[in-house]
Structure 1
Amino acid sequence: MTHYVAIIEDAGPDHAVGVWFPDLPGCFSAGDTLDEALANAPEAIALWMDTMSEDGKPIPRPRTPSELRADPEVAADMAKHVIALIPAPDLAFQPAAE
C-alpha cells in the first residue's frame, strides 16, 4: 500500500483541523476534529488523483519523510506541525514532469 506524507495543522478548538500533502499540490482535507480530518484524508487523495487522471496529468510518486525533510520548502512545515502517513488508492503512479 502506498502512503503520502500529510502535514496536519491544528489551530485550536475554535478552528477546523487541516491536512495537506506536500506531494499533491492543491490536495487537502479538513475536519472539526483530528480524527475527522484524518478520516477524510484518504478520500481527498482519491478525489485529487481521479481529477488528475481525468485531466491527463501525472500523479507524483510519494516522497519519504526523509526526502521531504531535505526539501527546504517542506522542512519548515514539518518542523512546525505534526505529520502522518495517509494511505492512497492503488493506482499506477506516473512520473511527474520535472
Structure 2
Amino acid sequence: MKNYFALVDKDPGSAFGIRFPDIPGCFSAADAAEDIVPNAVEALQLWAEDMPIPEPSSHEAIVALPDVSNALAEGAFLVSAPSKSMW
C-alpha cells in the first residue's frame, strides 16, 4: 500500500477542498472533516481506474513545492491518504 499526501483547504462557508500535489487533476471535496480521508482515498481509486499513478513524493518534497508551501502558510493542511489497491 502506498500513501499520498493530499492538501486540504477550506474557505468559510465552503466544503473542504482536497487535491494531490503528486497527481494534478485528482481532487475531491468533503463537507465534514471526518470525510476528508475517505473521500481522498475514493478520489485516488477512481483516478487509478483510468490514469497512471506516479510514485508518491516524500513529505519533504511535497512541502517544498511553492504552491503547497503557500497554501500551508495560509492555513491549509496535509493528510496522508492510503491507496487501497496495488497500482
* Percent identical residues: 36
Comparing 34-43 and 3-12, the one that deviates more: 34-43
Which residue pairs with 2:18 in the alignment? 19
Q: For this pair of structures, how many residues does the alignment match?
A: 86
The TM-score normalised by the length of structure 1 is 0.76
Moved over 4 A (4+): none
Q: Quick check: which has more Rg, 1 or 2?
A: 1
Q: How far off is 1:75 after superposition?
A: 2.4
Q: Residue 25 of structure 2: SS of its match in structure 1?
A: coil
Give 1:80-95 correspondences, 5 Å limit. 80=74, 81-92=76-87
Q: Residue 44 of structure 1: SS of its match in structure 2?
A: helix
Q: Is the 8 A contact 1:3 1:85 kept in 2?
A: yes
User: What is the aligned-residue RMSD (CA, Å)?
Assistant: 1.6
Q: Residue 86 of structure 1: SS of its match in structure 2?
A: strand
Q: Give unmatched runs, 5+ long, in structure 2.
A: none
CA distance in 2, matches of 1:10, 1:70: 21
Q: Is the 8 A contact 1:19 1:38 kept in 2?
A: no
Q: Give unmatched runs, 5+ long, in structure 1.
A: 53-57, 93-98
Q: How far off is 1:35 after superposition?
A: 1.3
For 1:3, the aligned partner's letter is: N
Alignment pair present for 1:75 and 2:74: no
